[in-house]
Amino acid sequence: MLPIHSLPPRRLAAALLTALAPLAAQAGDDGIARQLDTVQVTATRTPLTVADSLAAVEVIDRDAIARSPARSLPELLRGRPGITLVNQGGLGKLSSLFMRGTESDHTLVLVDGVRIGSTTAGLAALQDIPLAQIERIEIVRGPRSSLYGADAIGGVIQIFTRRLPGQAGVQGRASVGAGSHGLREASAGLDLRGARGGIGLEVAHQRTDGINACSGYFNPQTWQGAGCFIIPGTHTDRDGYRNNSVGLRADFSPDEAWLLQLHGLRASGHNDYDGDYSDNDDYRQQVVGGRLRWAPREGTSVQLSLGRNQDDTTNFLGHAFSSRIDSTRDSASLLGETRLAPGQSLTGGIDWLRDRARVQAAYSPFAARRGNRGAFVQYLGQFDAQELQASLRHDDNDQFGGKTTGSLAWGWTFAPGWRLAASHGTAFKTPTFNELYYPYYGNPALRPESSRSSELSLRRIAADWEVQLNAYQTVIDDLIAYDSRLFATNNLDKARIRGLELTGRVQLADWTVHGQLGWLDARNRSRGPYFDNRLPRRPPRSARLDLDRRLGDWNLGLTAIAEAARWDDVANTLRVGGYATVDARADWQFAPAWRLQASVINLFDRRYQTAAYYNQPGREFALRLHWQPR
C-alpha cells in the first residue's frame, strides 16, 4: 500500500470521498446544527443563516482559526472549496487567490465591510493580514457585482476583525509561539465591556527567517533568466518576513435602536524576496471604518458605513531606494432594509468609492484617481417550499461610465432536507491603474472586463450529515492581456470556466469531518494560437479533508490537501507538478485558562511548488502557548 504522501492527487481525492461515506451513516447532529445556524451577511449584505443562503457559502469562525495550524491567512484558505492559492516562497510572500478559476484580481476582499486591495496591482495583500486579528471569515463563491459593484466576478471574501464580547467585564488573552525557520510569534488582547459600550485592543507580532524563495535559472549564453532573477549567483539567501499589527475596536449603544461601531487595523513590517530591481520592502496595510445603525423595529433598519484602506509599500534593492507605491481607497455606504411581509424583505443601498494611487520610481512614476457611485436593490422572498432572491445594481464610474449588473437565484425544498437551487448573475471588473497607466505597459483606452455566470446546486441537510454539489459555468469577455502589437495591455481575451464542487461535513461522536472535492476546466477561448489552452495556475482537480478528534483535554487533527498539476503560462509549456500534503496538530487544555498547541506542516516533507521557480517550505514544526480565562 502506498503511503499517503505518495498518492497522486486523483487517487487521494477518491480516497477522501470514500472516507466520508461510512462516517455519514453514524454521525451526530450538534456540529452540523451549529454550522447551519451561523449567521453571515456577505452573500446578501443582510443577516442570513448559512442554511438559508442560496449562494455557495463557507464561514470560518474564531474556534476554527484557533484550532488550525495555519500561521497566515493564505495558509488558512488553502484548499478550501473553489479556492486556489499561489504562493511565492512561504510565509509572508506574495500570495494570489483564484476563486472558481477566475483571475487573481476577480475576487472582492472586504475587511469589516471596507473594500481593500491595491489600486495599482488589483490584489489584496492577504499575506499581511494577521490571523491573530481575525474573528471570522465569510467566503461567498459566485458573482456578487449586483450587490458590491466591480471586482466580484469570482466571489467575495469578507474578513471580520476581533469582536468585543457580549457580556460586561474585563477579558484578556495572550499567546506566544515558535517554530521552524526562526518563527517567532506573540499576541495579546484586552476587552473592556460596560452596560452600553466597550473598547478592545489586540496587538500581534510575527517574524520568520524564511527560506530561499527563488529557484529560477540563468542562461549565460543569452543572458536571460526565468522566475525571480536573471543575474547569476544572486538570491541564494533566506528571505525573511516581519509583521507587527494593532487592532482597535469600540462600540456604543445608547438604546436598543441605535448602535455605533468603530474599528481599525494596522499591519506593518518588512519583507525580503528575490529580484534584480528590488529585493526587499517596507509595507503598511491600514483599514479604518465606522458603522452607525438604526433599527426602530424588527425587520427594519438603516445603516451608514464609512471606511478607508491604505496600501503603502516602499521597495529597495539592498539599501538603495527603488520605488514607492501608495494606494488609497475611501468608501461610504448607506443601506436600508425593510420587511414587506412574513418571509419577504427588500434591501436597497447607495455606495460611493474613490480610488487613488501614487507611484514613485525612476522610470515608471505616475499618479491617478477615479470615483465610482453605485445603487442597488435586492428582494428576498420565501413562499412555502420555494425561495427567490433577486438583485439589480447600476454603477457610474468617472472613467468608464455606466454599468448595470443583476442576479437571480431560486431555491426549492422538494423533500425534507433536500433543496435544489439555480442562479444566474452578471459581473464586471474595472482595469487597474497599472493596466491603464504603467509606462510602456498601460493602455488608457481599456474597457472593463465583464462576465456572466450560471450555477445549479443540490443540497442534502439531514440531522446527522450534510452534502452539497455545485455545478457552475462562467464566461468572461474582454479579459485584459498584454498585446505585443501595441506593446501595451488590451482587451484581447475571452475565457470559459466550468466546474464542480462537492462538499460535505459530518460529526461522529468525538470525530468531526469536513471534506471537499473540486473539478475545474478553465479554458482560454480567445482567437489565436492559445485557443482552448488551460488558464494558467488553475489545477483541474483539488481535494481537502479535515479530521478532528476530541479526547478529554486533547484535540487531535489532520488536514490533507491535494492539487493536480497545472500550467504556469498561457502557452501551456511550463508545467507545475501536482502535490499532496498532510498537516498534523495536537491541542492540550492542561488548565482551565491554558492551552498548548503543537503542529507539523507538510508532515511527509513533500517538495512542491504552486508557482514555477518559487520554492515552498518542507516539513515545519510549531509550538504555541495560549492563555485565555473562560
Band of the pLDDT at 4, cuts 50, 70, 90? Answer: very low
Q: Percentage of the chain surpassing pLDDT 70?
A: 92
Q: Percentage of the chain surpassing pLDDT 90?
A: 80
Predicted pLDDT at 13: 42
Query: Which one of 2.170.260.10, 3.90.340.10, 2.60.40.10, 2.40.170.20 gives the CATH number of domain 4-627?
Result: 2.40.170.20
Rg of the chain, C-alpha, whole Å: 24
Backbone φ/ψ region at 299: left (φ over 0), alpha (ψ -120 to 50), beta = left
Is 597 in contact with 585 (CB distance < 8 Å)?
Answer: yes
**Mean of pLDDT values over 109-122:** 95
pLDDT above 70 (res 36):
no
pLDDT above 90 (res 226):
no
Handedness of CA 17, 21, 22, 24 (dihedral sign): positive
Is 395 in contact with 406 (CB distance < 8 Å)?
Answer: no
> E-strand spans in 120-235?
134-141, 155-161, 169-179, 183-193, 197-211, 218-219, 224-225
Query: How many other CB atoms sit within 10 Å of the CB of residue 255?
Result: 7
DSSP 79: T
Start-to-end CA span in the chain (Å): 46
pLDDT above 90 (res 158):
yes
Q: What are phi and psi of 61, to 5 degrees?
A: -90, 180
pLDDT above 90 (res 128):
yes
Helix (H) or strand (E) holding 372: strand 366-383
**Rounded to whole angstroms, how far apart are CA atoms 405 and 422?**
18
Predicted pLDDT at 493: 87
pLDDT above 90 (res 185):
yes
Smallest CA-to-CA distance from 534 within 565, 501, 561, 578 is with 565
**Rounded to whole angstroms, how far apart are CA atoms 224 and 373?**
46
**Rounded to whole angstroms, how far apart are CA atoms 467 and 85?**
24
- Kindly state the cell numbers that stand for 494: 475571452
Helix (H) or strand (E) holding 16: helix 9-24
Cross-strand bridge partners of residue 428: 450
Stronger pLDDT, 597 or 22, i.e. the higher one:
597
Band of the pLDDT at 483, cuts 50, 70, 90? Answer: confident
Helix (H) or strand (E) holding 435: helix 433-437
Smallest CA-to-CA distance from 99 within 39, 56, 65, 54 is with 56
pLDDT above 90 (res 29):
no
pLDDT above 70 (res 220):
no
Average of per-residue pLDDT values in the chain: 91
Predicted pLDDT at 2: 37
Longest Cα–Cα distance of the chain, Å, equals: 75
pLDDT above 80 (res 230):
no
Break the chain into its structural domains and give their ranges.
4-627
Q: In 3-state terms, the chain is what percent helix, strand and coil (to 5)? A: 10, 60, 35
pTM above 0.85, yes or no: yes
Q: pLDDT, tens digit, for every residue of 261-312?
A: 999 999 999 999 988 889 999 999 999 999 999 999 988 999 999 999 999 9
**Rounded to whole angstroms, how far apart are CA atoms 408 and 379?**
10
Predicted pLDDT at 32: 58
For 23-27, 70-74, 505-509, 575-579, which range has the lowest pLDDT when averaged over its residues?
23-27
Predicted pLDDT at 330: 98
Band of the pLDDT at 38, cuts 50, 70, 90? Answer: confident
Cβ-Cβ contacts under 8 Å for 576 (sequence gap 6 or more): 537, 565, 566, 567, 568, 609, 610, 611, 612
Rounded to the nearest angstrom, the gap between the alpha carbon of residue 286 and the centroid of all alpha carbons in its chain is 17
Predicted pLDDT at 575: 95
Strands 183-193 and 107-111: unpaired
**Rounded to whole angstroms, how far apart are CA atoms 64 and 58?**
12
**Mean of pLDDT values over 584-599:** 96
Smallest CA-to-CA distance from 263 within 255, 251, 279 is with 251
Predicted pLDDT at 5: 39
Which residue is listed with cell 462562467? Answer: 474
**Rounded to whole angstroms, how far apart are CA atoms 77 and 141?**
13
pLDDT above 60 (res 16):
no
**Mean of pLDDT values over 547-553:** 93
Predicted pLDDT at 222: 57
Band of the pLDDT at 233, cuts 50, 70, 90? Answer: low
Classify residue 65 as exposed, middle or buried by CB count within 10 Å of its CB (0-12, 13-18, 19+). Answer: middle
Q: What are phi and psi of 435, to 5 degrees?
A: -65, -25
**Rounded to whole angstroms, how far apart are CA atoms 124 and 157?**
11
pLDDT above 70 (res 402):
yes
Predicted pLDDT at 19: 40
Is 306 in contact with 319 (CB distance < 8 Å)?
Answer: no
Q: pLDDT, tens digit, for every residue of 497-512?
A: 999 999 999 988 888 9
pLDDT above 50 (res 21):
no
pLDDT above 90 (res 460):
yes
Length of the chain: 630
Name the 3-class secondary structure at 480. strand
DSSP 20-73: HHHHHTT-BSHHHHHHHH-EE-TTTSS-EETTT-SSEEEEE-HHHHHH---SSH
pLDDT above 90 (res 446):
yes
Is 359 in contact with 325 (CB distance < 8 Å)?
Answer: yes
Cβ-Cβ contacts under 8 Å for 317 (sequence gap 6 or more): 275, 276, 277, 278, 279
Helix (H) or strand (E) holding 115: strand 114-115
Amino acid at 127: Q
Query: How many other CB atoms sit within 10 Å of the CB of residue 371?
Result: 14
Is 222 in contact with 232 (CB distance < 8 Å)?
Answer: no
Predicted pLDDT at 368: 95
